[in-house]
Structure 1
Amino acid sequence: MSEFFKAELKDRFLDYALSRTDYFEIQTLYDEYLRPNYSLEFVVKLVQDILDYDPSLLDVMSGNGMDLFLLASTPSTEDFLDEGGFMHLYVKEEEKWDVFLDQMSSTRKISKEDKKQIKRHSPSLKREKTMLFGLVAAVAFSFLFTVFSMINGAFLQPEYVPADEFERKLEYLREQYIMENERLRQELNAMKQASDTLNL
């Protein structure tokens, strides 16, 4: 059940108590307003809510094994209802929430006409779009250049050898060449000697 409906029922309970000049059972409120859709416990809860808000709104007597058995109005009941009762309190609370939520949502929704006006009268947006496209193009060009440089450096360009390493390799190759020549000369001399001995 909504808080609005509960506030309405509380006011009706107080109004009923005000219309009576004597004590009445809480069962009477149940029979008058909420039978058969709700339980007697719900009526007791609503009356307890009234008493929790202001104990002077109803005069209560216990009996028959119940804390709330007989009810009657008090002088403050009429004053409270004249001020608006629980419905007035509910409306005030809702208004507070509305004001609070309005303050929280500081962004105002722009109507379609306002959007059209903004689009028509704002050349800075066109300039910003142009600048944005230029910026995106520059970033894309930079990215492509970086990718090209990485691929070119990794796969297409030859490796350069430092000069001192080149000279070491060249010296090594010379030594290999000299050693190979020496070996071949020795083999040639050995073959000459073998052929000379065969010719003799």
Structure 2
Amino acid sequence: MSEFFKAELKDRFLEYALERSDYFQIQTLYDEFLRPNYSLEYVQKLIMEIKEYDPNLLDVMGGNGMDIFMLASTPSTEDFLEDGGFMNLYVKEEEKWDVFLSQLSTGPKLTKEEKKLLKKTTTPTLKKEKTLLIGLIAAVAISFLFTLISIFKETLLEPDYVPADEFERRIEQLREQYILENEKLQRELLNTKQTLDSLENKD
């Protein structure tokens, strides 16, 4: 199930609780929203995620051999939904990813001081470091390009049908790869900067 669908379901659970003025069984949510394609355990999982985000969004009671048996809204439920609920959190998270990906596409920018330092230093060691750095950035860019082309080829151009969940999973893998490669690039940039600083101090 996609994060979008999960966020929408959590908001529906909260809206349903808000509409009622009494406690109701978790089974009611299952019958109302997820039967028969999902299990009651999945409803419990979503309720736990709501509680982990903010314990005050729902009043939860155990019973009948279950940790989550009865539910009711709280004063915080209405305030949270008025602020946009979990769907608003999902949108904000997506916007963060958009900003992150756009920053990746522009590449790292050197400060004025770093540019001056690069111009001053003409030693073979620094030239080698600069070449390695450019090669690293190019390798990350090429790797990303091939990954992106592969995903879109498999999901959009191939005749085989790809379920939405599988597409979401692949996009998530791409995002994770972005993060790992970006962290690796940051480490390389830091090492290069330290080398430049040490050589500048020697001069």
Q: Which amino acid aligns with 1:79?
A: D
**1:144-163 correspondence runs (5 A):** none
Name the Cα RMSD after superposition.
0.7
In the alignment, structure 1 residue 101 sits paired with structure 2 residue 101: yes
In the alignment, structure 1 residue 2 sits paired with structure 2 residue 8: no
- Structure 1 CA distance for aligned equivalents of residues 41 and 74 of structure 2: 23
Moved over 2 A (4+): none
1:41 is aligned to: 41
- Structure 1 CA distance for aligned equivalents of residues 57 and 30 of structure 2: 19
Flag structure 1 segments of 5+ consecutive residues without an equivalent. 108-200
2:58 is aligned to: 58
- Structure 2 CA distance for aligned equivalents of residues 75 and 5 of structure 1: 25
Flag structure 2 segments of 5+ consecutive residues without an equivalent. 108-203
- Structure 1 CA distance for aligned equivalents of residues 99 and 27 of structure 2: 40
CA deviations over 1:53-88 (Å, ceiling 9, x no partner): 000000011100001000000000000000000000
Q: Which amino acid aligns with 1:39?
A: S
Larger Rg over CA atoms:
1
- Structure 1 CA distance for aligned equivalents of residues 90 and 26 of structure 2: 24
Q: Which amino acid aligns with 1:44?
A: Q
Q: Secondary structure at the match of 2:103?
A: helix
State the TM-score, normalizing by the size of structure 1: 0.53
- Structure 1 CA distance for aligned equivalents of residues 64 and 97 of structure 2: 42
Q: Report deviation, 1:106.
A: 1.1
Give % identity. Answer: 79
State the TM-score, normalizing by the size of structure 2: 0.52
Higher relative contact order (CA 8 A, sep 6+): 2
- Structure 2 CA distance for aligned equivalents of residues 29 and 46 of structure 1: 11
**1:111-130 correspondence runs (5 A):** none
Q: Report deviation, 1:25.
A: 0.2
